């Protein structure tokens, strides 16, 4: 137990010390943010969510979304209780989420060190739990230091160290069965809260020169590697299943994605992007070339055609509702290199998100017969999630394959692939979304009633060894895209800066000149 306390407290104090490194150069802080962000993302994707999904099934995703949206409640409260300084309320919500996370980490540390061979066989897991703590504490301490002062940063860091110690104490008092019962719930909620904390300031302190971006990419890779220390030799079924499904999905779709990105680059030759239809056909748009190809490859001609028909109707309706002109964006035949980079910049992050969550979903243990028998409730749940998580079409189509893999009907998978991009296109207008949801649900129910297929085409171009080579080529292309923009700016395509982030920037950097 003493060893566990020493590891937990040392990692927290080291993270707090890193946040007090002299910040005459904002570049150092940027690298620290990149390390923390990628380390946390890797922990969520490779540790927390796979384990929670394996034990809880789909309810783990609801808990994850609850953790992700909890700070939004703090935002709402902050507008009324902190004189409009909502960034402070959001910071507090994230902090208390980390307190819960550190109690869980402490339980994990205590449990592993109670095993007879904990300091030998399980040393990689202990190191992984401690290592991912350092950058997260550094960023949280930095946020408190710049917002409230050094004293607050020290006290908050000590609070997180105490949370870890409390978790270790619990591990010695609570039976292993009780720990196993609540661990997946804590992991799912902590995953959502953790993602909100580390994606809060993605655009701050960016690297701009080619060499600085290369160093930033190396720091990002180091953050991922540190968080994967406990994965390489892991026997956790959820983690191993996720790795296997990710490889399978990547091999099956990589060639289609590569061809789609090439077609997307050609679509950027449009000289006028002001109309709704033109914007919908750009990369990552609701009717972007890469999403159209993925739709046909993964949903088949029948399901894919229905999805494209519904999306086209939504685009046309959005154009009719357009009262004010779209923001002007005129480009006169940009060079081929510029078009290719823009296509990769727009679609790359969404494609990675779709591959990761498509693979994660396919690992959840679900009773397919029960899902099909509760068809209406399944469609309602899918429609709700699609409205809460609007996203670009490439990600939605890939995630739909995960829904299909765990037993959802073809109509339910088609519903998510169609409705999530439509919600992103329509924006926050409630009645318009309700109408779109009703139409898409009716189409999905009719598809199931008529027995229409929405499954991948046979004889995929990415099958076999060629698929593996295409997956490697796609991974290298993504790495190039990350280097081109910087890791955190690349991720900000998915998680754009929130309105309160501008205020937070004033707290951190001072007023603009």
Number of H helices and E strands in the chain, helices first, is 22, 0
Q: How far apart are CA 412 and CA 372, in angstroms?
A: 9
Please indicate whether residue 69 or residue 117 has the higher confidence score (pLDDT).
69
Measure the CA angle with vertex 177, ends 174 and 178; round to 5°: 50
Q: What is the CA radius of gyration of the chain?
A: 23
Q: How confident is the model at residue 474 (pLDDT cuts 50, 70, 90)?
A: very high
CA dist 79 and 69 (Å) reads 16
Structure tokens at 97: 């989420």
Q: Is the pLDDT of residue 231 over 80?
A: no
3-state secondary structure of 231: coil
Beta bridge partners of 187: none
- What is the torsion angle, in degrees rounded to the nearest 10, for the CA atoms of residue 498, residue 503, residue 506 and residue 509? -30
The DSSP symbol for 47 reads: I
Which one has a higher pLDDT value, 399 or 277? 399
The token pair that represents 92 in the structure block? 């507090």
Structure tokens at 419: 């409705």
Give 128's pLDDT tier (boundaries 50, 70, 90): low
> What is the biggest distance separating any 2 CA atoms in the chain, rounded to whole angstroms?
69
Ranking 37-41, 110-114, 287-291, 463-467 by mean pLDDT, the lowest is 110-114
Task: Tell me the mean pLDDT in the region 112-120.
Answer: 49
Asked if 357 and 391 count as a contact pair (C-beta separation under 8 A), the reply is no
**Measured CA distances, 399 to 264, 299, 442 (Å):** 20, 12, 21
Alpha carbon distances (Å) from 132 to 15, 103, 221, 224, 384: 10, 14, 13, 9, 33
Count CB neighbours of 482 within 10 A: 24
Cα gap 289→266, rounded to integer Å: 9
Query: CA 352 → CA 321, 357, 397, distances in Å?
Result: 32, 9, 12
Q: Is the Cβ–Cβ distance between 7 and 130 less than 8 Å?
A: yes
pLDDT for 93 beyond 90: no
Look at the pTM and tell me if it is higher than 0.75.
Answer: yes
Q: What is the pLDDT of residue 406?
A: 83
Per-residue confidence band for 119, with pLDDT thresholds at 50, 70 and 90: very low
φ, ψ dihedrals at 286, nearest 5°: -60, -30
- What pLDDT does 89 receive? 62
Token pair 């039976």 is at which residue?
175
Where are the alpha helices (H) located in 268-288, listed in sequence order? 276-280
Q: What is the pLDDT of residue 293?
A: 93
- On the CB side of 394, CA atoms within 13 Å amount to 31
Query: Quick check: 266 pLDDT over 80?
Result: yes
pLDDT confidence tier of residue 481, bands split at 50, 70 and 90: very high
* pLDDT at residue 64 in the model: 85
- The phi, psi pair for 136, rounded to 5°, reads -65, -45
d(CA 406, CA 408): 6
* pLDDT value of residue 502: 37
Q: Measured between alpha carbons, how far is 343 from 388 in angstroms, rounded to an integer?
A: 26
Residue 459 has a pLDDT of 53
Q: What integer pLDDT is reported at residue 392 of this predicted model?
A: 93
Tell me the pLDDT tens digit for each residue of 165-182. 888 887 777 665 666 677
pLDDT in the model for residue 503: 39
Residue 462 CB: number of other CB atoms within 10 A? 23
pLDDT digits (tens, 9 = 90+) for 205-223: 777 888 888 998 998 888 7
Length of the chain: 513
- Name which of 199-208, 215-224, 307-316, 323-332 the model is least confident about: 323-332
- Paired residues of 330 in beta bridges: 272
279-309: b or e for each residue (b if 16 or more CB lie within 10 Å)?
bbbbbbbbbbbbbbbbbbbbbbebbbebbbe
**Burial degree of 232 (CB within 10 A; 0-12, 13-18, 19+):** exposed
The most confident of the ranges 107-116, 389-398, 402-411 is: 389-398
Query: Lowest-pLDDT range, 2-16, 46-60, 326-340, 491-505?
Result: 491-505
HSE, side-chain direction, 13 A CA sphere, residue 476: 6
Please compute, for residue 53, the number of CA atoms within 13 A of its CA located in the half-sphere on the CB side. 29
Quote the pLDDT of residue 480: 94
Average pLDDT over residues 31-52: 80
Query: Taking the alpha carbons of 15, 20, 22, 26 in that order, is the dihedral positive or negative?
Result: positive
d(CA 260, CA 289): 6
Q: In the prediction, which pLDDT does 176 show? A: 59
Mean pLDDT rounded to a whole number for the chain? 77
Q: 306 or 17: which carries more pLDDT confidence?
A: 306
Q: Name the residue among 367, 344, 289, 358 with its Cα closest to residue 475.
A: 344
């Amino acid at each position: 137990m003493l060893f566990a306390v020493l590891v937990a407290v040392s990692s927290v104090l080291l993270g707090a010390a890193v946040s007090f490194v002299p910040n005459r150069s904002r570049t150092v802080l940027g690298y620290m943010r990149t390390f923390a962000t990628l380390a946390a993302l890797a922990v969520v994707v490779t540790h927390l969510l796979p384990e929670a999904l394996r034990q809880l099934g789909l309810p783990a995703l609801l808990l994850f979304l609850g953790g992700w949206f909890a700070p939004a409640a703090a935002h709402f409260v902050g507008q009324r209780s902190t004189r409009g300084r909502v960034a402070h309320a959001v910071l507090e919500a994230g902090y208390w989420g980390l307190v819960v996370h550190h109690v869980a980490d402490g339980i994990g540390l205590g449990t592993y060190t109670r095993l007879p061979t904990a300091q030998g066989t399980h040393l990689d897991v202990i190191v992984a739990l401690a290592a991912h703590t350092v950058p997260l504490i550094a960023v949280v301490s930095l946020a408190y230091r710049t917002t409230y002062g050094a004293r607050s940063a020290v006290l908050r860091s000590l609070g997180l160290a105490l949370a870890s110690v409390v978790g270790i104490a619990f591990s010695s008092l609570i039976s292993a069965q009780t720990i196993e019962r609540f661990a997946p719930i804590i992991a799912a909620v902590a995953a959502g809260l953790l993602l909100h904390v580390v994606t809060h300031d993605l655009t701050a302190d960016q690297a701009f020169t080619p060499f600085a971006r290369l160093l930033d990419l190396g720091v990002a890779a180091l953050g991922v590697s540190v968080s994967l220390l406990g994965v390489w030799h892991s026997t956790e079924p959820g983690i191993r299943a996720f790795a296997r499904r990710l490889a399978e999905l990547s091999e099956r779709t990589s060639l289609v994605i590569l061809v789609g990105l090439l077609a997307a680059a050609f679509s950027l030759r449009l000289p006028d992007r002001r109309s709704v239809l033109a914007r919908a056909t750009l990369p990552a748009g609701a009717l972007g070339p890469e999403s159209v190809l993925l739709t046909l490859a993964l949903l088949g001609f029948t399901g894919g055609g229905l999805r494209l028909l519904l999306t086209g109707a939504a685009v046309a309706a959005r154009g009719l509702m357009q009262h004010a002109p779209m923001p002007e964006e005129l480009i006169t035949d940009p060079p081929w290199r510029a078009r290719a980079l823009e296509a990769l910049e727009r679609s790359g992050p969404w494609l990675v998100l779709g591959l990761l969550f498509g693979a994660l979903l396919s690992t959840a243990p679900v009773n397919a017969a029960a899902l099909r028998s509760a068809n209406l409730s399944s469609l309602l749940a899918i429609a709700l999630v699609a409205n809460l998580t609007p996203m670009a079409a490439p990600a939605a189509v890939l995630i739909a394959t995960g829904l299909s893999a765990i037993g959802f009907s073809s109509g339910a998978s088609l519903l998510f692939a169609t409705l999530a991009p439509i919600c992103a296109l329509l924006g926050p207008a409630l009645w318009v979304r309700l109408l779109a949801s009703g139409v898409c649900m009716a189409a999905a129910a009719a598809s199931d009633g008529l027995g229409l297929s929405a499954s991948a085409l046979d004889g995929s171009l990415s099958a076999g060894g060629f698929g593996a080579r295409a997956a490697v080529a796609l991974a290298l292309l993504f790495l190039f895209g990350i280097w081109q923009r910087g890791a955190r700016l690349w991720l900000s395509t998915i998680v754009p800066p929130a309105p309160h982030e501008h205020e937070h920037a004033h707290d951190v950097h001072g007023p603009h000149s």
